[in-house]
Each structure stands twice: as structure tokens, then as C-alpha cells.
Amino acid sequence: MAYFASSHFKLPTSFHESVRKASSRFYWSDSEERQKIHWMSWQRLCRPKSRGGLGFKDTKLQNRALLAKAAWRLWTTPDSHWAKFLKSIYFPHCDFMQARIGNRPSWGWRSLLVGRDVLLEGLRWKVGDGSRIDIWADRWIPALPNSKLQYPKPKDCNLTVVADLIEPMTRSWKISLLQSVFHPSDVDAIL
């Protein structure tokens, strides 16, 4: 029951806390009345066995992961009936990744947006023609931490999308432009 609910709705923190407390009491107590000392933190118990834990599930993280899975399904199958239905209600004029919360949203829609936020934490652009990738804001450089440029935009720079950095005919980087605009470590990561 909780697994189904957590794959469709963001469950309240109080639910996650009650599951954690009940699991912890069950693991550390020998009866309902007597509580014993907790010899390990809950975070350590939730680690995989290969990393010194016992592999318990953190329901809050599991909830976020399941919502991200639902958001991924919505984003990658826009022709499905449920995706078309949600699009008609919540984001008729844009893509799911640009959708806003809207007026009087359902709890299900709010939950999908939580899943989308989880996706956005880990998604990175794969450079094709670069026409939709914001040079300064998007994650597009896998060799850099956070996949973003490490140094800020120069004041006199009017470049906005990655396509500005690519030679259209040869589909290669404009190396002299890169070297004139970006820090050398960013240039190395881009190349």
C-alpha cells in the first residue's frame, strides 16, 4: 500500500518519521515496552551491506526516487494517454521540464514536480547542435563538477547558447573563441 502511494504522491515527513521510528524500535527493542540503545545511526543502517550498513530502506529517499521515475516516464512518453491528459491541464503550451505549478494544482501534480526536481539535479545535456543549451546556466560539460562552467560569464560577453561555440559546417568547436572567452580549465573540459 505505502509503496503504491509513494510512487504516485509525495508522502508527508511525518509518515517517513513514523516508519523510521517503527523500524528502529522493531530492530533495537526486544518488546513493546522496553527500548534499548540504538548502537548505530539510522543513516548507517540504511547504507548498503557492502558499505557497512544493513541495507534498510530510507522511505523518504525511496519516495523521491519513485517520483523521479514517474516524472521520467511522463517526460519520455509524451504520447501516452496520461501524459496528454496532464499536459492538457497543467502545461498545454510548454514541455514538462518548463511546466509551472499553476493555480490550485492537485497533490499528484505537485508530487510529479518534486520528481522533476530530482531529475533536474542529475540530468545533463548531451551536446548536439547546441541550440537549446544555455552556456552559463545548463549542465553540459561532463568533465566538470556539477557539469557547469566553473568561472562566471565575462561582463562583455554576449554568447548565450552552446551553438554559438560550434562551427556549423564542420560541427567542431570554435577553439579561438573558446580560448578568448573561457578560463583555460573550462576550455580543456569543453574540448
140 vs 135: CA distance, rounded Å: 8
Could you state, in order of their start, the residue ranges of all structural domains in the chain? 2-59, 64-118, 124-191
Q: How far is CA 181 from the centre of its chain?
A: 30
Asked whether residue 36 carries a pLDDT value surpassing 80, the answer given is no
Model confidence pLDDT, tens digit, residues 50-90: 998 888 888 999 999 999 999 999 999 999 999 999 999 99
Complete DSSP assignment for 39-78? -S-HHHHHS-GGGTS-----HHHHHHHHHHHHHHHHHH-T
Q: For the chain, what is the mean pLDDT? A: 90
Quote the pLDDT of residue 178.
94
Asked whether residue 35 carries a pLDDT value surpassing 90, the answer given is no
To the nearest whole percent, how much of the chain has pLDDT over 70? 94
The residue written with cell numbers 502545461 in the block is 91
What three-state secondary structure class fits 154? coil
47 vs 65: CA distance, rounded Å: 16
Q: What is the mean pLDDT of residues 126-135?
A: 92
Model confidence at 13, pLDDT cuts 50, 70, 90, reads: very high
Of 102-106, 114-118, 125-129, which has the strongest mean pLDDT?
114-118
Neighbours of 162 (CB within 10 A): 22
Quote the pLDDT of residue 164.
95
Quote the pLDDT of residue 30.
65
Quote the pLDDT of residue 4.
84
The residue written with cell numbers 551491506 in the block is 49
- Grid cell listed for 30: 526486544
Neighbours of 115 (CB within 10 A): 25
